[in-house]
Amino acid sequence: MKKPFVAGNWKMNTDSNSSVELGKCIASASLEAAGHDVTVAVCPPFVYLQAVARALSASSVAVGAQDIYYEPKGAFTGEISASMLKDIGCTYCLCGHSERRHVIGETDELINKKVAAGIGGGLLPILCVGELRAEREASQTNEVVTRQMKNGLAGLSAEKVSAVTIAYEPVWAIGTGLTATPQQAQEVHDFIRKLLGQMYDGRLAEEIRILYGGSVKPDNAADLMGQRDIDGALVGGASLKADDFLAIIQAAV
């Protein structure tokens, strides 16, 4: 049985005090009770990562970055490498979040380099995939997800890919209050798992955790995570409220 995984993506929110406070509230007694049965991570903005990582170092809550750059070091103004993230206590890194794809303009090729660099640097990448509303309406969901998965994982061996978590985040459900129904989400998760089986092998496909993201809240988390192929959640807005995030973690157990 896979351990469920709940990660909070704080996006461009919090400040130096509230980030550490939020981290500490999440690493509370109620989480410690659930901490053996569920993997929990938070992804603060880069500037607060080290402070949050320090505050959580004795807890079961891991810390992830919202992005990385693929070069190890050098003249890349404004960028952050995998080794820097590792150095300050990061475990995970998001790669290809829809806001980076569609607001910043990241390509599958760039995202693939980031996933590879994350694994190479000892991080555990969370590769985000998902279709736009127009793509769903044009029945292109499977095609889009296939392209993002194949390009995002291009050139990586099964062994390397075993370090990756997939997050299915339909773009039309992110920050909109619209959630994919558990059935809609399960359909795509099942598709992604079968795709991984074709790309690698059935064992790897079963072992990889596939998270759902897109307006996950305390009141829909249990139904979503109760689906066969939904192994956890990548939570945006609701991860900024400790009580809501803890309720979602409890729903995963």
C-beta of 121 vs 237, nearer to ligand 13P? 237
Tell me if 213 contacts ligand 13P by CB under 6 A.
Answer: yes
User: CB of 201: closest distance to ligand 13P in angstroms?
Assistant: 28
Any contact of residue 175 with ligand 13P (CB under 6 A)?
yes
Per CB under 6 A, the list member of 214, 221, 224, 232 interacting with ligand 13P is: 214
What is the DSSP code string of 109-155? HHHHHHHHHHHHTT-EEEEEE---HHHHHTT-HHHHHHHHHHHHTTT
Q: In whole angstroms, what is the distance from residue 4 CA to residue 225 CA?
A: 9
Q: Which stretch binds ligand 13P (CB under 6 A): 47-55, 70-78, 186-194, 234-242?
A: 234-242
Cβ-based neighbour number of residue 33 at 10 Å: 11
Q: Does 236 bind ligand 13P (CB under 6 A)?
A: yes
Q: What are phi and psi of 204, to 5 degrees?
A: -60, -45
Give yes or no for a contact between 237 and 215, defined as CB atoms under 8 angstroms apart. Answer: yes
Torsion (CA) 56, 31, 29, 85 in degrees, nearest 10: 0
Shortest CB 106 distance to ligand 13P, Å: 14
User: Which burial class, exposed, middle or buried, applies to 29 when counting CB atoms under 10 A from its CB (0-12, 13-18, 19+)?
Assistant: exposed
Backbone angles phi, psi at 188, to 5 degrees: -75, -40
Judged by CB under 6 A, the residue of 42, 52, 56, 216 near ligand 13P is: 216
At 134, list the tokens: 């127009």
Active-site position among 106, 131, 169, 189: 169
97 included as an active-site residue: yes
Asked if residue 229 binds ligand 13P (CB under 6 A), the reply is no
Specify the residue, 145 or 200, whose C-beta has the smaller distance to ligand 13P.
Answer: 145
Among 5, 9, 124, 156, binds ligand 13P (CB under 6 A): 9
Q: Are 124 and 80 contacting, i.e. CB atoms less than 8 angstroms apart?
A: no
Return the number of the residue (201 or 219) whose C-beta is nearest ligand 13P. Answer: 219
Catalytic one among 97, 106, 131, 135? 97
Q: Which pair of structure tokens corresponds to residue 87?
A: 């150095």
The SS3 of residue 223 is helix
Judged by CB under 6 A, the number of residues near ligand 13P is 14
CB of 29 to ligand 13P, least distance (A): 25
Query: DSSP for 10-54?
Result: --S---HHHHHHHHHHHTSHHHHHHTTTSEEEEE--HHHHHHHHH
> Which residue has its beta carbon closest to ligand 13P?
236
Per CB under 6 A, the list member of 215, 221, 225, 230 interacting with ligand 13P is: 215
Q: Which of residues 94-153 bind ligand 13P (CB under 6 A)?
A: 97
Q: Which residues are catalytic?
A: 97, 169
Footprint of ligand 13P (CB under 6 A): 9, 97, 169, 174-175, 213-216, 234-238
